[in-house]
Amino acid sequence: MEADTTVKKKIWAFGTKEVVYAAIGAALYAVLTWAFNVWQIPGAGNVGIRPAIVIPMFFGIAFGPIVGFITGFVGNILADMLSGYGFWIWWDLGNGLIGLIPGMFSALIYRYNETKSILLGEASVVLGSAVGMAVASLSELWVSGADMKTVIFANFIPAFLTNIVWGLVLLPILMIAYAAILKRSGR
């Protein structure tokens, strides 16, 4: 049975379903970040090796910009809480943007396993990570007083690269899996 694709998506809606997706997305992002801490490599500012970064990207693509933003923003806050890392509002915002921008693309995607959809998803990953990590890195100019060169090479580039590597590989895998469960869902 095919899903009804004629209904236009309302990507800015925030009803009960979206509250749940956002809350679950954030909790999931936090739990996975914490669980994958095994791979955490210190030494690149606030940048870790984090497969979990795909969660806000995917929740954005699947459920829209608000859910994507909260997944990244609140999820990052919760993840830092779980590891007792403190609170870094700009990095939280940056993570939020990593979910929000794919969310803007979600309006264009109806069938999650089509090549076109996946390419759009991948593009949103690159754009989202660029904007999100730029905002977060630039904050370091102001907060820690580093110069532009350090910000770009020590903060932005490592963060951007790790995020898109994880995102580009894992997002299509999640999108294809999601297409499969969509066939069974009702609401």
Instruction: From residue 110, give the alpha-carbon distance in Å to each of 73, 77, 103, 181.
Output: 25, 31, 13, 14
- Tell me which residues in 124-163 interact with another protein (CB under 8 A): 141-151, 153-154
CB 107, min distance to another protein, A: 19
Among 10, 111, 123, 176, binds another protein (CB under 8 A): 176
Alpha carbons 176 and 186: distance in angstroms, whole number:
18
Helix (H) or strand (E) segment spanning residue 185: none
Answer whether 104's CB lies under 8 Å from 66's CB. no
Range in contact with another protein (rule: CB under 8 A) among 1-9, 101-109, 115-123, 124-132: 1-9
Q: Which residues contact 153 (CB under 8 A, 6 or more apart)?
A: none
Q: Does 169 bind another protein (CB under 8 A)?
A: yes
Among 10, 11, 86, 94, binds another protein (CB under 8 A): 86
- Tell me which residues in 35-64 interact with another protein (CB under 8 A): 35-36, 38, 42-46, 51, 54-55, 58, 62
